[in-house]
Chains A and B, each alone.
Chain A
Amino acid sequence: MTPVYVAADNITSPLGNSTKENFEKVKNDLSAIRKITDTSLSSEPFYASMFANDFFEELESDFTCFEKICIASIADALSGASIKLSSSDTLFILSTTKGNIELIEGREVNEEIRKRISLFDTAKIIAGHFGAENKPLVVSNACISGVLSVIIAKRMLEAGKYKHAVITGADVLSRFIISGFQSLNAMSKNPCKPFDKTRDGINLGECAATIVLTTDKSLSKNILVNGGASSNDANHISGPSRTGLELSFAVKSAMHESKVDAQDLSFISAHGTATLFNDEIEAKAFSNASLSQIPLHSLKGHFGHTLGAAGVLESIFTYQSLLEGIVLPSKNFETLGVSENVFVNRELSRGDKNHALKTASGFGGCNAAIIYSHT
């Protein structure tokens, strides 16, 4: 099988418009999470990571906010790469949970609106802007969409179906999404605290992140996309597994495929949403997979939960940390608040290993795990 490498990337978030800018700000412990008071989104104030209103106006017109950030992210990611979406060798994958859902708010959904918000048409509009030749692939698999998209792209490239893939993960926040998480009592009343004893829920976030993969080693930025797998809890549609065993299946499968042992891992980039259940079950899964001693962090304290973007955004941070030889701390973490004695990283430290694990879990009981390796 042909190895698959990372060629380029971009993060467009409220913290910055490039991978470098986002990475530097996170290294300096900055967070995009702030108190939002906007009655068009929620009658109550809430904490989230959102773009300023004028951000979208600065970007090209004729597109929705969702499409604008996707296009900005892809344009930057491809600016330094010789890979083009207009080539028949390049696959485009859009990873999103709700895309343009805000277009249905307060109006009747006629055929025109249906087509405008259809995720496939949205992906075609975005890919069309770059003259894409191939039909896009849309992955809409709740909060594992991003990690799963990278795994799917890697499998398609390994099998020789394409030479390159452009994967964009994105979601924007709307009343629809915010009210939904509020109705589930899932939102924290403060900046979220993954794995902490006092954690009380998530912060939502907006982001578009893009990873460009290639089978051409000369285009690689020295990162191999190693083994990946998904699994399902078969337990509850909106709550996690009781034991975390199923997430540990995916982790073990990804490690097995990568021929990587626990002692080879520099760190784990956990899903770490800061809900009571997610972090508890994730800690159990890491313990099941004999990874309790590996430093872990969640990036949700910096960006919130960016839904369809999360797995792409956090993957970029994972391999960028490997390239710089560092392990990031888990922001807002103070006192361990899960039953397993996992190693939540408190301070930016040196990482001297060449592999890192990224995991994700989501509604519908889905889990995914992927290993990135420094070549």
Chain B
Amino acid sequence: MNNQISITSYILLRNNQIILDGKVIFENKELTAFDFLQAAYDHFQINYPKFFKMDSLCKTGFIVNEILLRDKKLSEEFQPEEIGIIFSNANSSLDSDIRYEASIANTPSPALFVYTLPNVLIGELCIRHRIKGETACFVFDIFDATFQSDYVNLLFETEKVKTCVSGWADYYNGKAETFFYLAETGKENSLTHNSSNVNKIFQGI
């Protein structure tokens, strides 16, 4: 049994491009970030009506996770509580905070208020993929590859997860940026999960 923790797949959404394992799989430079998310939903023929209720941060994270996990058989390989999601961002839920704040003067909107917490993105991903294990949401100024990879490795080493979705999802002021990867053990010929490799793939190198 190979216990090395590896990055088995990774995906970036940045500047209206979606890049899976280093290859551009969808782009449309003409659209706003908001419309780009809808275009990606259509392009990848995703059918999940809850998508339309989500705020932009959740949509930003949801789309890339759909693509990252669609050919994986996590639910066949693992129990729901063995799968984790660890994510961080810079702007918390500020995009939805501003929208909710604007609703207060008339009628405060409960549908907007529930999205004023960044970890609701984790909740949406857990519902979609039946993930019930360790989760956590952190806020940084910029993506911290060292903390991200250290903490995920700790979860593996202490046997809290057997596989983990890890990364970054930020949406604010019409700018979307997502980076997620899948960390697994026992996979030959894949990238070692450490800060240097996580940073390289985040930078798109």
* Chain A interface residues (CB < 8 Å from chain B): 97-98, 101, 104-105, 109, 114, 117-121, 135, 137-142, 148, 152, 155-156, 158-159, 161, 175-176, 179-180, 182-184, 229-238, 246, 249, 253, 362-366
Q: Is the CB of B136 within 8 A of A148?
A: yes
Are A234 and B132 CB-contacts (below 8 A) given A141-B137, A180-B113? yes
Are A232 and B132 CB-contacts (below 8 A) given A97-B117, A118-B92, A183-B109? yes
Which of B90, B122, B124, B132 sits near A249, CB closer than 8 Å? B132
> What are 17 A-to-B residue pairs whose CB atoms are below 8 Å?
A118-B94, A140-B119, A140-B139, A152-B136, A161-B150, A176-B104, A179-B113, A180-B110, A180-B113, A230-B135, A232-B85, A232-B131, A232-B132, A234-B127, A362-B119, A364-B117, A365-B123
Min CB distance, A273 to chain B, in Å?
Answer: 15
Asked whether any CB of chain A lies closer than 8 Å to the CB of B66, the reply is no
Min CB distance, A297 to chain B, in Å?
Answer: 26
Task: List chain A residues, Cβ under 8 A from B155.
Answer: 155
Interface residues on B, range: 35 or more
The answer for the CA separation of A246 and B94 in the assembled complex, in Å, is: 29
Which of B109, B121, B124, B134 sits near A231, CB closer than 8 Å? B134
Task: List chain B residues, Cβ under 8 A from A175.
Answer: 104
**Among the interface residues A97, A109, A119, A155, which one has the most CB atoms of the partner chain B within 10 A?**
A119
Q: Is the CB of A364 within 8 A of B119?
A: yes
Task: List chain A residues, Cβ under 8 A from B147.
Answer: 137
Asked whether any CB of chain A lies closer than 8 Å to the CB of B74, the reply is no
Are A118 and B135 CB-contacts (below 8 A) given A97-B117, A155-B158, A238-B114? no
Task: List chain B residues, Cβ under 8 A from A365.
Answer: 123, 126-127
B 103-143 contacts with A by CB, 8 A: 104, 107-110, 113-114, 116-124, 126-127, 129-141
B154-185 interface bits toward A, Cβ cutoff 8 Å, 1 = contact, 0 = none? 11011010000000000010000000000000
Asked whether any CB of chain A lies closer than 8 Å to the CB of B25, the reply is no
Task: A120-B90, A148-B136 are known; give 6 further A-B pairs, CB within 8 A.
Answer: A118-B94, A137-B138, A137-B147, A161-B150, A179-B108, A234-B127
Q: Is the CB of B81 within 8 A of A139?
A: no
Task: List chain B residues, Cβ under 8 A from A114.
Answer: 91, 94, 172
Asked whether any CB of chain A lies closer than 8 Å to the CB of B35, the reply is no
Q: Is the CB of B119 within 8 A of A142?
A: yes
Q: Is the CB of B92 within 8 A of A364?
A: no
Q: Is the CB of B141 within 8 A of A120?
A: yes
B 47-106 contacts with A by CB, 8 A: 80-81, 85, 90-92, 94, 97-98, 100-101, 104
Are A141 and B90 CB-contacts (below 8 A) given A180-B100, A183-B109, A234-B80? no
The answer for the CA separation of A97 and B113 in the assembled complex, in Å, is: 13
* Chain B interface residues (CB < 8 Å from chain A): 80-81, 85, 90-92, 94, 97-98, 100-101, 104, 107-110, 113-114, 116-124, 126-127, 129-141, 144, 147, 150-151, 154-155, 157-158, 160, 172
Min CB distance, A161 to chain B, in Å?
Answer: 7
The answer for the CA separation of A98 and B81 in the assembled complex, in Å, is: 28
Task: List chain A residues, Cβ under 8 A from B90.
Answer: 118, 120
The answer for the CA separation of A323 and B126 in the assembled complex, in Å, is: 38
Q: Is the CB of A184 within 8 A of B110?
A: yes
Task: List chain A residues, Cβ under 8 A from B108.
Answer: 179-180, 182-183
The answer for the CA separation of A98 and B147 in the assembled complex, in Å, is: 23
Which of B91, B120, B121 sits near A118, CB closer than 8 Å? B91
Min CB distance, B65 to chain A, in Å?
Answer: 14
Which of B101, B110, B139 sits near A120, CB closer than 8 Å? B139
Task: List chain A residues, Cβ under 8 A from B97.
Answer: 101, 104, 176
Are A152 and B151 CB-contacts (below 8 A) given A229-B160, A232-B135? yes
Residue of chain B at shortest CB distance from A238: B114
Residue of chain B at shortest CB distance from A97: B117
Min CB distance, A289 to chain B, in Å?
Answer: 14
The answer for the CA separation of A225 and B137 in the assembled complex, in Å, is: 22
Which of A135, A234, A237 sits near B120, CB closer than 8 Å? A237
